[in-house]
Amino acid sequence: MWLVVIVTLVLLVGGLLGSAWFLLRYLIYGEWRGGRWSPKDFGLDGEWIEFKSLDGSIIHSYRVSPDEPTAWVVIAHGFNPTGGFVGAAEFWPYAKKFVGAGYGVLVLDLPGFGLSPRRARGYRLGFLEWWDAVAAYEFLRFELKIDLPVGLFAKSAGTPAAIIAAAQGCADFVVLESAIASFRSLMVAQLQYHGLPRMLALPLAAVLDLVWRYGFNHSGVIDPIDVARGIGVPILFLRGGQDPEVLEEDTVFLAEEIGRLATVRYFAAAGHNILRLNGEPAHLINKEEAKKAWADTFAFLRNVTTGRR
């Protein structure tokens, strides 16, 4: 009897770990290209440029700016592998809004997305892409000699990269849409989003975290919550009240760690795509909340960039 129980448990645990390994392998080592929106579809007249990340990976990015920008915004996308949204393409509408408000923009194709080749270690859901955010900041500041404020904008799985880069002093301001505090909290949210009750999502997320860190040699990966206290620049959090894809407490915990420099704006009727004004599926977009969120974003940017050089 006990032998049957032990064998069953071993098989269950083995199956769980195996499933976790294959899931994470897909997320990490996939490459996402496909047909996607063009910046010209949104009236953007910029240029594609490239620079090297901290590990030597080539990062392709799209640079566009008004004639006399007030500041520059580096945009780091999240995990967006399908449709016209792949990589930087999700943020052409965002770039148009920023440029129209007087800001220069550098939109990144992170490794494995769009034009950027996959790095040897694969895509790390923003937890190693801070290399790319730091490199983008340094490229604008030191290669292009930009002496204006340079900030980071990131959404969802791009937010760990922005938080970690900011904690290292590579941002003058930060705007985060649907922030993530840790890999484990992201897994809890995603498991619940796909139908698992919280009581099962919590232990399974712990298993996924172990596989992530040790099955893929990520023991040195940084969680944003562990470095958030080191951020010394203004940071705006945008949080949707109907967002099932990241945990609400992540924004709360991160803001508490950062302290007085953190501003949180909560949009009760918004989901994960708080700032999105167009695209599909339409039921995931709340245009009224998006307009409010853009107004708050630009008010924040005016406050933190006016008169700063």
pLDDT tens sequence across 85-123: 888 899 999 999 999 999 999 999 999 899 999 887 777
Q: What local confidence, expressed as pLDDT, does residue 229 receive?
A: 96
E-assigned strands of 127-255?
Answer: 150-155, 174-177, 235-240
SS3 38: coil
pLDDT tens sequence across 136-179: 999 999 999 999 999 999 999 999 999 999 999 999 999 999 99
Length of the chain: 309
pTM of the model: 0.91
In sequence order, the β-bridge partners of residue 107 are 62, 75
What is the Cα–Cα distance from 69 to 33, expressed in whole angstroms?
31
**Mean pLDDT for the chain overall:** 88
Q: What local confidence, expressed as pLDDT, does residue 85 receive?
A: 80
Is it the case that residue 13 has pLDDT exceeding 70? no
Q: What local confidence, expressed as pLDDT, does residue 18 receive?
A: 57
Q: What local confidence, expressed as pLDDT, does residue 193 receive?
A: 92
In sequence order, the β-bridge partners of residue 211 are none
Q: Judging by DSSP bridges, how do beta strands 47-52 and 58-64 pair with one another?
A: antiparallel
Domains annotated for the chain, with CATH where assigned, are 1-30+187-222 (no CATH), 39-182+226-305 (3.40.50.1820)
